[in-house]
A and B are shown apart, each in its own frame.
Chain A
Amino acid sequence: MSAPEHLLELTDVAKHFGGLYALSGLSFRVDPGEIVSVIGPNGAGKSTMFNVVTGLYEPDDGGIRFRGANIVGLKPNQVTKLGVARTFQTVHLFPNMTILENAMVGQHCRTRSGVIGSVLGLPGTRREEKRIRERARESLGFFGSRLAGYREEQPASALSYANRRRLEMARALATDPALVMLDEPTAGMNPRETLELRDHIVRMRDELGLTVLVIEHDMRVVKGVSDRVVALDYGRKIAEGSYDEVANDPQVIEAYLGTKALG
């Protein structure tokens, strides 16, 4: 058993597609209350790592533990129920559901109303439905008024790109997670929105007490939020440490800029 202070721990994780190793021998950990950034060039295996952790892919080798328990082989919904929430690199909302409903879906795994309760409208079910609604509003409220008010009843497809990203994060928050995994949350955002999002990531930890694992390309964001940075290339970990350590690591510079490092 691993030491309980690790929230998420990957040990020698490998995943290959045909002959292509998307991940090989990847090990790292995330401790409670940390914000860990994952960086690496395109195709380094960052999103594959997310998919392996959240159960969308099963690793070919290695172990993944969450709060000390093995989560390899669990289905995505089971992983989510254990307290891992995620967003996707390309936004995946439920476009025809309203904004509020999208967030309410997040509460699904924390609630249990069944067929009989729903059909008969039992008091317990109605109370639960009210709780779901309140919790969903709370998650939406994390992003200020952008997703609140009249917008609650709009279909998610009516949102702007940046707001879709925010809604996806709100939906993840609504699952009451311990660990939030954000896959390129600032992709497609303008500089101002990016700055704002940086604050949101920090607030997730400071105000909501969450642990955050974030894949990010924008180095200002990485620098601004990270307690630790993990750099991947060709499915392997090439560096780990504070932002400054990783940013000055020759291997990282090489991965990003090629062999002729600029120093």
Chain B
Amino acid sequence: MGGVPTGSIVRAGLIGGAGAIFIALVGLYTKFADLALVGEQITLGRLLILAPALVAGYAVTRPRIVAGERRSVPFGPGVVVGVATGLVGGAVFAAAVAFADWFGVDRIREVFVAVTEELVDFLTFDKGVPAGLPLLIGLCVVGGAVGGFARTAPEAVRRPASAGVLAVILFGLLQRIIPIVFVELGFEADWLYERSAGLTWFGGLIVFVVAAAANALWNRDGGRTRERVRRNVEQAPAAKVGLFVAILAILTILPLLLGTVISEVLGSVMIYVLLGLGLNIVVGYAGLLDLGYVAFFAFGAYTTGVLTGAFLNTTTGAATPALSADLNFYVAVWIVALLAAGVGLLIGAPVLRLRGDYLAIVTLGLGEIVSVITASKWAQPLIGGPQGMRGVTKAEVFGLNFQDNPQHFYYLALAFVLLAAFVSWRLSTSRIGRAWNAMREDEQVADAMGISTTKFKLLAFALGGAIGSLGGALFAVSIGSLTPASFEIFVSITALAVVILGGLGSIPGVLVGALVLIGLPGLLREFEEYRLLIYGGALVAIMILRPQGLIPNVRRSRELEDEEVSQDAWAAAAGARSEPVAAVLPGGGLGVEQEDLE
């Protein structure tokens, strides 16, 4: 069918059906059954019914290599293939629902707690098992068709359409934030959103049209406009500065627009931006995979507590730690960073000879050691052990309180983020960054070219550790009390996910990665318990679709097209200075590479 083997369709359909069953078993459907995105009918739960079929339909209509030739699936047959895929997937899903109903929901619930009568009602649209199943299958068929459409429709249609749909979903999900922004800016939001629900039908239509139109403009003349904008931003310093100022302005004004609750989320985003920036130096610049980054986070937090006069929680009340100082936060934080750099050297020294997997395992262990220490009896006199510490400084200055006011805290964190970003940026464009880059690409050759890999590995661990400890220090200030539960391996993994999702070695990437991975789940409270599932899904998706990250490091993703353009420009500038002599290379083994012999 349209060049797609029947076997592939069946397989994709089965996988899609299995995906839907998985979503049902983990309880996502019941969780989001009532989260309306547009009007009352389009809920996130229903969207999730057609999502697996959509993904399957999209995947199965991918271009295939037939007899050494890449063949795209044509538009019409593509949709038909999608429908067939959705039909298979829907049938599997419906069969599973029918089975659950026949077998007894209560018996299944003994193992899968999410399987309830409610779930069956939701999946059969409250029509009961035989009657509702065709609707379920129908929705899956729609999903498959949309998937086929999204892959095979003409570019000029599918790109704007996809952008519009994604925008509507995003606006629907952000239904608690966008109306606040509208009201803060002095606009009405009633036409756009239902009261404490999703978009209105009219609002949804507007969002769709605006996003689709914007996307169409962006792609005009086959993406030339996009290329031109991108090149301007990349090459003109003024455009770069302008973009930076715009981002900074948005970051500055954001908490004022969004109020305290959301500012709290933004505060934790900023903490993870700091962690991400620090880890980015170690992993992104120097190429040392560190899975124990929580060590620096914990060190920064507890050291800040100790240096600013926090108390230990004990069974008999508050106690002063064995070592304690009562410093001003703005003095203490630099000491913390300095000490953390020392810890970075300590952690770095034993792992200098290790690479890749081995380095990752050992740092994982070192991170765990720090986690265990924070919870240990042994460290109780110093940092409180399992009971932890409280009374960390509020970092008050000029009467501003950075612990109880999330908006103030956000600005404090932003200041540290800007500092860390500046340091990262300067380092990455310096001799030091170049040395890290060379080391990451080929350690042995970097050594042979005169770069002391020992020195630069330790430097990366020290600087990365110092920046990470600032994240810990701010975390301590923001919550005021510290317990070992905050310093588990999850922190390391999240920080690494932020860096990878954003794009290794990319400073704006860290910001975007943290916004997506910390900000979105924080804003969408409903997602909180599915956070890990979302991280996993997001990372798998990014590795498949965009392995260089959301905002990749420019250097590393430079595209061939750019080279061609600059080559043309150079040739034009060089004029008739020298005519390249066409030469046939012996053996022709060099393939596409060309050599100009003058």
Contacts and interface: CB of A to CB of B under 8 A. Distances in A.
Contacts of B11: none
Contacts of A38: none
Interface string B558-577: 10100100110110001000
A110 B437 CA distance: 18
A149 B461 CA distance: 37
A76 B459 contact: no
Given A96-B441, A101-B437, A77 B426 contact: no
Given A97-B555, A190-B586, A108 B448 contact: no
Interface stretch (B104-112, B146-154, B590-598): B590-598
Nearest to B433: A118
A76 B590 CA distance: 32
A72 B319 CA distance: 58
Contact of A171 (B426, B427, B449, B558): B449
Interface stretch (B80-88, B250-258, B450-458, B528-536): B450-458
A160 B595 contact: yes
Interface string A50-90: 00001110000000000000000001111011000010100
A145 interface: yes
Contacts of B433: 118
A20 interface: no
Contact of A115 (B427, B444, B449, B569): B427
A118 B437 contact: no
A105 interface: yes
Contacts of B563: 154, 158
Nearest to A190: B586
Interface residues of A, number: 57
Interface size class of B (residues with CB under 8 A): 35 or more
B262 to A, nearest CB: 33
B430 A94 contact: no
Contact of B449 (A95, A96, A105, A153): A105
B70 interface: no
Contacts of A86: 448
B446 interface: yes
A97 B441 contact: yes
A92 B569 CA distance: 29
Contacts of A97: 434, 437-438, 441, 555
Contact of A105 (B422, B434, B594): B434
B566 A105 contact: no
B138 to A, nearest CB: 49
A175 interface: yes
A69 to B, nearest CB: 17
Contacts of A98: 555
A192 interface: yes
Given A88-B445, A118-B431, A175 B450 contact: yes
B98 interface: no
Contacts of A171: 449
Contacts of A162: 595
B12 to A, nearest CB: 35
Contacts of A78: 452
22 contacts: A55-B448, A78-B452, A80-B449, A94-B438, A94-B445, A94-B446, A98-B555, A101-B434, A105-B451, A108-B435, A108-B449, A109-B450, A115-B432, A118-B426, A118-B427, A118-B432, A120-B426, A129-B430, A150-B569, A154-B566, A158-B560, A158-B563
